[in-house]
Amino acid sequence: MPRVTRGLVVIALAVGAMPRAAPNTIDALLDQYASGQFSEAVRAASATGDVGAFVKEFERAAPLWIEARPSDRQRRRLAVATFSLEVANARLVAWKTLRDLVEWSCRLLRQSDVPEPGEHAWQLASIAVAERVRDCHWAFDNCAAIVIGGVLVPSKETANHLRHGKGRFKDDARFRLAEAVLIHGWVEGEGGVAKFGVSLPAYKRYTNDKFAEKAVEEFGPLTVVPGIAGEAELHVAQLFLVVGGHEGALEHTRLALAKSGDPIVQYVAYVMSGRVLETMGRAPEAVAPYRAALGVWPGGQSATIKLASLETIAGHLDEAYALVERSLAARALDDPWRLFGYGDYVRYPGWIAELHRQIQP
């Protein structure tokens, strides 16, 4: 299709003008995506007015697009799955509809008896999005219950998505970490209590009294697993922080820093240290970890805001202005601290970048 015509079709889809997307529209979007114009294609698709119609048409047209080039089937399959995941991530407000498309894409990838290149990153990225929206019922089979009126009621809507990744990549440490994060990510919310099989009021009492202890129990074994040890320590520190266990949080951030040289772990650990110290009334001591965080992740927004605030209060306005200027100039949008609260979502940009490299022609 000529580029101009293709562009017009994409625009027509983008404004939601068509109640049912024409077949060649999905083709055009996938062509665009597979050619390396990832953000353009995702932006056009995610602007679609009728998400349900888009999903239905996509599931009909995408397999035909894959099979139109049998010699390129593997790459095209990964492109379809990654495109659908990116569209879902771009429209998190429509997740309840788009998660079905992600699950459909998961089945598409699992058609291959053994995982093809890219599936590992895809499975992790899709779980990360579930962690971002805290969709217990879709992702995690142990959460097969919901709370209605403070009472647990079995849920029928479990896709067990995490199990798919674990099944395809047995003993993979990252899936073990994701499982622990999923449990604790949800139990902090209003609805996520099923893991412990208690009513909501009882759960709240439980979290107050035993939460930090339980966190160590859940994450403890993972703090010695190569590759994820530092990150697991950081999750323990986070959970201590949430329940006010400041000394415990500081101790586990120190352990995280000692066990991992990963920039994400290092940055979050430094920011968390500073934040804990501020919460403890030791603001002057927080300056050093915030500065260390910016050394690891130049322009990092969360460290910038915290440090600039302290410098402002101390009367060092020139320093505060300079920090904010550097952060805005760096355009450091994927600030690890902002995303780490959503568990593995902090790794989502990296996994998507890896998938793009696999798809790029």
Partner 1 sequence: MRFGCAGLAALMTTAVLTLSGSPAAQDPQRPVFRAGTTAVTVNVSVKKGNTPVLGLTPADFRLFDNNVLQKVDDFSTDEVPIDSSLFLDTSGSTSGARDQMMGDLRAIVAMLRPVDRFRLLTIGHSVYQPIAWTPAGAHFEPELPPALSGISLIYDTLVMALLKRPEVDRRDLVLAFTDGVDVGSLVSAERLCEISARSEALLHVVVVDSIHAGKPQDAMAFSLPGQNPDHGLELLERAARTTGGEMHRGTFSYQDLVKTFAKVFDDFRLSYLLRYTPTGVAAGGWHQIKVETPKIRATIHARSGYFGTDEDR
**Which residues contact partner 1 by CB under 8 A?**
46, 89-93, 134, 185, 188-191, 238-239, 241-242, 275, 279, 301-302, 305-306, 308-309, 312-313, 315, 317-318, 320-325, 327-328, 331-335, 337-342
Buried b (16+ CB within 10 A) or exposed e, 66-82: beeeeeeeebbbbbbbb
Shortest spacing between CB 93 and partner 1, in angstroms = 6
CA-wise closest residue to 28 among 93, 83, 108: 83
Other beta carbons within 10 angstroms of residue 213's beta carbon come to 13
**What's the 3-state SS for 148-213?**
ECCEEEECCCCCCHHHHHHHHCCCCHHHHHHHHHHHHHHHCCCCCCHHHCCCHHHHHHHHHHHHHH
Q: How far is CA 300 from CA 271, 314, 338, in A?
A: 10, 21, 10
Q: Please identify, using beta-carbon distances, which residue of 172 and 334 lies nearer to partner 1.
A: 334
Shortest spacing between CB 300 and partner 1, in angstroms = 10
Question: Which token pair is 138?
Answer: 């879709």
Q: Please identify, using beta-carbon distances, which residue of 53 and 90 lies nearer to partner 1.
A: 90
Cβ distance 221 to 232 under 8 Å? no
Q: Please identify, using beta-carbon distances, which residue of 121 and 237 lies nearer to partner 1.
A: 237
Shortest spacing between CB 163 and partner 1, in angstroms = 24
- The H or E element that residue 15 is part of is none
Shortest spacing between CB 271 and partner 1, in angstroms = 9
Shortest spacing between CB 171 and partner 1, in angstroms = 27
Q: Tokens 């910038």, residue?
A: 304
Q: Name the residue type at position 150.
A: G
CA-wise closest residue to 336 among 297, 292, 291: 297
Q: Please identify, using beta-carbon distances, which residue of 66 and 305 lies nearer to partner 1.
A: 305
Name beta bridge partners: 154. 145
Cβ distance 193 to 135 under 8 Å? no
Cβ distance 278 to 306 under 8 Å? yes
Q: Please identify, using beta-carbon distances, which residue of 57 and 86 lies nearer to partner 1.
A: 86
Shortest spacing between CB 159 and partner 1, in angstroms = 20
Q: Please identify, using beta-carbon distances, which residue of 18 and 47 lies nearer to partner 1.
A: 47
Q: Please identify, using beta-carbon distances, which residue of 109 and 187 lies nearer to partner 1.
A: 187
Shortest spacing between CB 54 and partner 1, in angstroms = 16
Shortest spacing between CB 166 and partner 1, in angstroms = 23
What crossing angle do the helices spanning 73-90 and 348-359 adopt, rounded to 10°? Answer: 150
Shortest spacing between CB 282 and partner 1, in angstroms = 16
Q: Please identify, using beta-carbon distances, which residue of 255 and 308 lies nearer to partner 1.
A: 308
Name beta bridge partners: 145. 154
Other beta carbons within 10 angstroms of residue 284's beta carbon come to 10
CA-wise closest residue to 269 among 299, 243, 300: 300
Q: Please identify, using beta-carbon distances, which residue of 94 and 144 lies nearer to partner 1.
A: 94
Q: Please identify, using beta-carbon distances, which residue of 322 and 353 lies nearer to partner 1.
A: 322
Shortest spacing between CB 227 and partner 1, in angstroms = 23
